[in-house]
Structure 1
Amino acid sequence: MGSQESSSMSLPILLLLTIVISYLFFCCIGVTAETNTLNQSDNLNFTQQLVSNNKNFTLGFVKPFVDYDNNNTYLAIWNSKYESPSSPVWIANRDTPITNASFATLFIHQTGKFVINRTRDGHPIQLCPGGETNNNNNVNYNNIKAVLLDNGNLVLTEVNSNGSVDRTLWQSFDCPTDTLLPGMKLGINHRTGRNWTLTSFLAPDDPSQGAFTLEWNPNSQELVVRRRGMSFWNSGILKNVSDDLGRMTFENLEVMESTLEYKYYRMRSNKSLDEEVFSYSLKYDPMDPSTYKSIKMRIDYTGAFSFAQNGLALSLEDLCYGYSTENGCAKWSQPKCRTDENTRFVLRSGGFANRPNSVGDGGHYDKNGTIGLADCRVRCWNDCDCQAYSKTVTVGCLTISKDTEFIPDPSGQAVRFYVIQRPQNERKTKKWIAISVSVCGVLLVSVTVIIFYWRWRRKVRKERRLLQLITSTDTIHNANELENDKDFAQNLKIFSFVSILEATNNFSVQNKLGQGGFGPVYKGKLAEGKEIAVKRLSKSSGQGLVEFKNELILIAKLQHMNLVRLLGCCVHNEEKLLIYEYMPNKSLDSFLFDASKRSILNWRMRVMIIEGISQGLLYLHQHSRLRIIHRDLKVSNILLDGEMNPKISDFGMARIFKRSELIANTNNPVGTYGYMSPEYAMDGIFSVKSDIFSFGVIILEILSGRRNNSFYDTKKPLNLIGHAWDLWEKGAGLELMDPTLSNSCFNQQFLRLVQIGLLCVEESSIDRPTISEVISMITNESTILPMVKKPAFTNLDSNIHANPQRNDTENNSINNVSISTMNGR
């Protein structure tokens, strides 16, 4: 019995001696170059670092809180590409800081454990004890190494003789601190008993374990924030998002839908015999560098659970007071002095003075180093004699009793306190408040009813007037007719003819941007300095008059970032003018088909332009009040603003559909050959699928840098569509690529867009996707694309000239000219 006890007691002593001897041997062997690997024969001192292969993450000894006068050293991992060591994502020794960095050394013990020596004589710190695979101190390893992976995970592995990984002995992802990176887990492993949770810092300058934890509840399928074990906030149930991306979100996180980064999150839960966990991943957009930045989930010392990329907090201690379950807050019993739901802590700057006859200074300081601001807040809230606590004291707790009087500092430079604010004179004013609320309620209801009735009548009159103007064949003779129309006055500005003459330098030739069927287009500059584009109706253009009325009524009602904006109009005698926002980069074709400018349109920019056009079409086809068919979509009608954002222009040929209408027929098709769908060009039938066909042609032109009608060899395909189909059938789709894209293009994404373009130009309109389906195909790589069928106009037999009787009467155009062509607006 005694020999067994002495043997068991000698094991820890032998382990300690082994660690000390290993440290003395390894202190002269270090990592000498930038690497992501620490071998068993190496050590890492305070001057050295491990850097992941993709340069995103760095491991090293740092002093992250020196700005708070905290000189303690910690072994930490941080995102070195987008953040500094002051924002670590993992800390190895959060509860055991190193006071003298010069003695800090990290090495791998032969028993398969990570160890930090923090003093000259040893005093080792084992990293995350209990998290390793091997807990047997008698087993020694001869070939183990640590690697900092590209996802921020520090992994200790046993290596085979051939260099391959045999098994993982330990990893930092199993010992999280306050941050959840993509690929980490929250939950429980039933096989090992490991429970993954996040624990907040105690204070902004103290990473030791604080008051809040973030856990995964597998039974209710929700995230839970606890404060010292008590439920504080919950995320609500994980559910599917009703969009085309197949994402999931939580009931109480719907606010995140308004942020740009949220679309890249892929949250999921996993339940098996071994584990029940929550995790998330990121769908990186290769064209959007912002998705590579430090996106992470974090629980901070105040209990705020946030997505750190945009700093949006999803649970805040300022929101949760235990009164209700609103916004995901938990409800708990309140002290007798805190039953009024209007009682809150308010952050104020100032000081406190003793009231007359009070005893003591009114303050009490508890210097306990294991409590932080969150604990102090609870202590003051539960103490009916407490009226404030200090924000300046981050560790320990300074509370102020209600025997003192708060004296505010208007300058805001004094010490800041969280002061309890109660409703004033509640009993005396309750009766008057009730009377005032009743009277105001009656007045408010009456005014609201009158306003709604007036708006309803106004809306009815507006719709009738718009309908009359759209269907009327009468012309507009002067601006007074529009100025007197209050409905128009609220939607667009009526410019004076004199102001337009001044802006365009009396329609000088130097200001002319282009010429179309509508008439010439001029650049102008208003008196206040705003640049504009002016369409001037040609006196002899009956076609232009139709376009003038169409755009005047239609575009004034459309508001979207990917549609050109109509600023106003001008009617003066025979002069009829449309005034637009000016597009400094002119039209897409001026870049795409110009050999000297084409290289400016790199791959990222072309994808952005395709996505922008699709968003504009989605608004026209589905999200505007009436369904709108453009009917003349082409690259020359895509204008580019100063940041190269695409805007669809020229709505003179557009047609309005009611929601119940799907297709329409015309005896007078209008548009541009090469962009017109076969059913529209040959039979006059048009629908939203007509615009989809035109969009498919634009996609192929953007990808190839060639015009659809730039093919003249009768032995080869008739046009770009036929050329793209010929290459696709041969499995040579990459040969369609514009040569200027060879260094910036992603081949798989290019082929996917070629396939989408060919799907849009299918012979049958039924086979073409809707614009919402197209957007899903573009933005969601997991969407399976249909097989491509032979598209329209791939040979002479399907040429639209097969019906020559219509050529004399149709209002079509060839090459690239329709009713309006311009270089820019």
Structure 2
Amino acid sequence: MTKLLFCILIVLHASITRAFAAHTLSTNQTLRHNETIISPQETFELGFFSPGNSLNIYVGIWYKKISLRTVVWVANRNTPLTDTSVELTLTLQGVLIIRNTTTGSIIWYSTNSSLTSVMNPVGQLLDTGNFIVSEEGDMINPIWQSFDFLTDTLLPGVKLGWNLVTGKERHLTSWKSNDDPAFGEFSYSIDKNGYPQSIIKEGQNITFRGGPWNGLTYTGSPNLKPNRYYNYTFVLNQREIYYQYNLVDPSVFTRLVIQPSGRLERLLWIDSKKEWSVYFSRLTDRCDEYDVCGSFGSCNINKPPICECLKGFEPTSPDHWRITDWSQGCRHTTPLDCNPAEGFNKYSNLKLPDTRESWYNQTMTLTECKKMCKTNCSCTAYTHSNISGPGSGCLLWFGNLTDIRMFTQNGDTIYIRLSASELDSKSSWSRVRVIIPMAFAFLVIIVSICIFYRFNKMKQQQHGRAGNESRNDPENTSVGEDIELPQFGLAKATNNFSINGKLGEGGFGPVYKGVLENGQEIAVKRLGVTSAQGLPEFKNEVILISKLQHRNLVKLLGCCIDGVEKMLIYEFMSNKGLDSFIFDKTREELLDWPTRYHILNGIARGLLYLHQDSRLRIIHRDLKVSNILLDKDMNPKISDFGMAKTFGGSQIEGKTNKVVGTYGYMAPEYAGDGIFSIKSDVYSFGVLVLEIVSGEKNRGFINREHYNNLIGHAWILHNEDKSLQLVAKCLGKTINISQVLRSIHVGLLCVQRHPEDRPTMTSVIMMLASEGPLPLPKEPGFYVGNMKQKAIQSSSSNGTSSNNELSISMLQGR
């Protein structure tokens, strides 16, 4: 009897051992501390382990055939176990659970989105290293799989990237240390913003950028070539974006690992040495560090100093550049002004710039790509998106070009936008063709200045005392030292500033229409006697706008100072201000949706030029509908730079005790604390977008249901999927629904409460032009309107009030 019992026990023990020597885990089994599951070909093993010198216990997967335990996946990486009273089980819902058997507490569990019973769920460890949970017999459609929750290791056959249908992403995250598999500081992923590219991040900061895939390799890794160990591919379509490698020789063990130090390493197992050998590593030299040389700078590790400006560019701060501080980067030697003569220079053997603010099309030719970039003043560069074969596709950049490095060979080619004077000429005649028009234009300017000067001198001699007062005016002398614009009398041109020629009035003062002797129509802004603005604002506008040239900025023709009289002369905008259309119930129908969308994009391009493409970084600080003028073709022009501020170098933010601007358009951080930046202008642009779409003023709009202003109303409609209710009724059937919804979405992204959440104008232009997914907007700032009792007193429940919208210039920031 004793012998029989002993034999039964041996058989039971053997059956338990075989159960876990197999590759499955069913709902009636429990995996304990000293038990493991082994894949069919004994390639991988799953069980409980303790890493390095740690006493903590985790569930993980490691190589079975390698003598040195090498863990490739960890389940409970952030919730370690501290004793061996543990078990891994599978529920009837197909959920894996790690439980402390002493306390009964659940330490970790897998996910099952359906959380419904499935038919006979089973866990299986595959020879790929993937542990899947599926219905018995259906391994193709797993309920859950470890490959969807990568740790620090990418194994052969695994897709690193995005499933655009489900929104699921796979990326690597480093261990905290060699003894602690908890989430570390570094991650390796595919960034799908703009044209997809591989990046390494430390927290939220990029430390290394492998660059976009060019059809053969990552542009930051030109030496990554086919080899006898593995092949690789990159897939980009409407359903998926991912990188993947597969073994050529199945007997080879290789893995891609993001180390706790942040280094990305390709490792090969050398069985004769019983160790992992580094096959290649990213972040090998200083030029591999992200954005070492700043905008439009290139890094060359073989040419000290390693940073230099690209041809056609110069250091933004020569003093900093000389002491090897390259953070402020480079700028165009000759600033761009959206001139048709601008063109592109070819740069070869380099790592393509950061593509997070880029646009791409996989079917366009290079010629079509160039044409598209040429016609968009915000486009700074273009190239093929795929260089394999004869080359195909189009990749466009908008804004600054960053993180460029030079290679001795095998690098990529890019075509960068430059002014006509900086373009490479193919012949002496092409140089002559550029020089002759420039010389002629210079001669015309000199002659014009002489004529104006002569005319002014004669006028001052005729006026006698008035001229002497003007010449002796110390304020006049101050302005004259700062500007280089012609000054001329305007009484005759404006018929002595006749009331019949008055176009309107703003914070600066009244604006009159005038006609010069040559028949040219002009607009004259005359500083009002009671104006809150004075000489500082006058000087600021003249000095700033005289240096700006862009099709979406109003053009300053000259200025006139005569004693206390101060006037600015602009090109005449026959359609006046945008507000005279969208807020006028009798004229609003004249602006259909295509025209409004054209205006919206033009404002965005003008603002991008101020923030990024002009020689100075300029913050407008008073962007509003009435400061958008329209020419005869309904092209928008940003005007009124009296309150603008300039930033130099890498400065991106300022603070003032004198808050200026207009209620309804001011960003929260600016109105409350006097902090202004390009993001405060972005906020104002967001308000503009919502006003252009709705035909309503943000300040003065009150909704009867929730008593919010226009921003709050748009926010609520967006969250309820009712954004089309925001659209002005006069637009009728002219709207393009996708454009309208996208514009509202972008507007809400621009008015988010926190400035760091708002996009740059480069991103805004890209989002408006593309058709891809947009980030979800967060709660906007200043979206709560008047209180209920105030709303009841309003004469309109969904209309605008007649509030004065003159610019504010004396509000003290807290």
Q: TM-score range by the shorter chain?
A: 0.3 to 0.5
The structure that has the greater radius of gyration is 1
More helix by share: 1
TM-score by length of 2: 0.42
TM-score by length of 1: 0.42
